[in-house]
Structure 1
Amino acid sequence: MTKVLICDLDGTLLDKNNEISLENMRKIQSFSNSGGTFIIATGRLDHDIVYVEKQLGVQGDFRISQNGAVITNKDGKVVFKQEIDSHAAKGIMKILDNRKERVEVNDAIRRYFPSPRPMGGVAEFVDSAVIDPQLNKKVGNSVIPTIFLIFGEKSGFKQIKATINKKYENIVNCVETSDSSLEIMSKYISKGVAVRQIMKELNISTQDVYVIGDSENDISMFEAAGYSFVIDGASEQVKQKADEIQKTVADCIEVIMNKSPKVR
């Protein structure tokens, strides 16, 4: 089998309890044992992909983390990363430092916080965070961000986006990832960009690449791959962008392994 399957985690492979069903696990193992390549693409840090791969008993040739900002190979070497320009990072940090929202920062390998997170605020499987009260002074110097994460309210996000877009519109994108979270990242990254990079690394054609996702940041993957699946719980907007709707990752793999994909 010369098929590559690139799969999102949260809402796609992981359920609301951050668990993987036995059915999904067995299908992924079957796909891998048949010669397929299974690769995870997520907004999480690379540590969490390694954790999930160990649960699956399957290791991908590459791992796409931070929504495409970082690609790591199976030996743990970062083969691609897109950081935010250090001058812009300093300016963005200055803007955020003057506000009340909580700000966290990712670099290529870990997450930084100015103070301990609130109780219940740890969503990662592997918590490798660094607490640094001097973080605002280090951003753009010893800490070069891949992503800024802001936690607050939508009204505040509107103000932040307006201010940052005015100064750094050609450098970063501001994306509301939930009603309480905003991410700032380089304009040059997306999961789709990462998928195309993986295709180059593996020297494969688009027709050999399948992707599965459930949210807006997965649409760029749909556009890059030869065939795309969306999980049934996704919004109608995301469903319209995929080639096929399925209930689970296992169902998607069944189509890939045993059937001809449906024609849209």
Structure 2
Amino acid sequence: MLTNPKAIFLDMDGTILNHYNKVSEYTKQVIDELRENGIYVFIATGRAADEIKELVPEGFQVDGIISSNGMAGYVEGEAIFEHSLQLDLVEKIIEKAREQKIYYELFPYGGDRIALEQDRHYMEAEIKDPQPEGVGLNEWLSRQEAIKEAINWKAQIEGNKFSKFYFFARTKEHINQWKDELENIKQDIDFTTSISSAHNVEVMVANVNKATGIKEMLQHFDLSGVETLAIGDSNNDLPMFQFADYAVAMKNASDQIKEIVDDVTEFTCDDDGVYHYLKSIVVRDSIRNT
């Protein structure tokens, strides 16, 4: 058991975020304690960096943020690395998404997420209540919020720096068909895909994931080679789990995820599982060893 790591990497959705997309004061408190004891704490999330401030308590701080599944890294609000999808790939994927009527969100750097106005009718239909069986509450609430407030509907794609695509479908059959189409597109332009639920898939630059983002963050802080701990809950955390010295899955993770990690939290994300795990194991032992 790794009880005194130098750097900790925390996923958000299903990990430090509960199913209502909020980080608790307890989680903030334990992160503050860790940092006060000389342990670096980082967020490693599939979300874009601009989304995070609306989800965390006032005064929430970490040493750095790895966003969009490793596409970008930020320290004190400043980018230390950013990878960008090619514009020709973006345009081709949107064209194919329209053919299959797949819900999408394109995330440009420094701006609101984008979708095209001509696709709005079918995207809104995909998010209408009732919540489909099997779709997680946090993902469903995020999509409804995006449709109502977060998406910037455009007549055409603007800009040339994009951190990722997010795709969603009401049914597993629909999203699996789209995954097959992405594999076809990949024959012409290489890219990486990542999955955080059975109803979504995301697209990033080829060979970029949470592990590559962690490596770049560790290099920035001159922490290469230190012992690391990672906590997450889903498939997009697998590269992070493989890279970290000690991998911890949330109690609410799937059995598939739990089978490949070193430990599992006693509590779920809705019961402050990260707080309890870090408080009982890491904080206690780091204080003991100081």
TM-score relative to the length of structure 1: 0.82
Q: CA deviation at 1:175?
A: 4.1
Structure 1: 5+ residue stretches without partners: none
Distance 1:206 1:123, change over 3 A: farther
Q: What is the rounded CA distance, in whole Å, between the counterparts of 2:219 and 2:80 in structure 1?
A: 12
* Equivalent residue number for residue 138 of structure 2: none
Matches within 5 A, 1:47-126: 47-52=50-55, 55=57, 57-74=59-76, 76-109=77-110, 110-115=112-117, 121-123=143-145
- How many residue pairs match? The answer is 251
Counterpart secondary structure, 1:6: strand
Identity %: 22
| Partners of 1:49 and 1:63 within 8 A in 2 | no
Q: RMSD between aligned alpha carbons? A: 2.7
Distance 1:106 1:57, change over 3 A: same
Q: CA deviation at 1:158?
A: 3.3
| Partners of 1:195 and 1:225 within 8 A in 2 | no
* Equivalent residue number for residue 165 of structure 1: 183
* Equivalent residue number for residue 15 of structure 1: 18
Which of 243, 256, 268 is the aligned partner of 1:237?
256
Q: What is the rounded CA distance, in whole Å, between the counterparts of 2:212 and 2:66 in structure 1?
A: 10
Amino acid of the residue matched to residue 250 of structure 1?
Y
Q: What is the rounded CA distance, in whole Å, between the counterparts of 1:69 and 1:215 in structure 2?
A: 18
* Equivalent residue number for residue 229 of structure 2: 210
Counterpart secondary structure, 1:182: strand
Amino acid of the residue matched to residue 147 of structure 1?
K
Answer 1 or 2: higher relative contact order, Cα 8 Å, separation at least 6.
2
Matches within 5 A, 1:173-252: 173-247=192-266, 248-252=273-277
Q: What is the rounded CA distance, in whole Å, between the counterparts of 2:230 and 2:5 in structure 1?
A: 14
Counterpart secondary structure, 1:146: strand
| Partners of 1:40 and 1:49 within 8 A in 2 | no
Q: What is the rounded CA distance, in whole Å, between the counterparts of 2:228 and 2:58 in structure 1?
A: 20
Which of 33, 45, 49 is the aligned partner of 2:48?
45
Distance 1:21 1:155, change over 3 A: same
TM-score relative to the length of structure 2: 0.75
Distance 1:144 1:155, change over 3 A: farther
Structure 2: 5+ residue stretches without partners: 129-140, 267-272
Which of 149, 152, 155 is the aligned partner of 1:130?
152
Q: CA deviation at 1:128?
A: 5.1
Q: What is the rounded CA distance, in whole Å, between the counterparts of 1:90 and 1:128 in structure 2?
A: 21
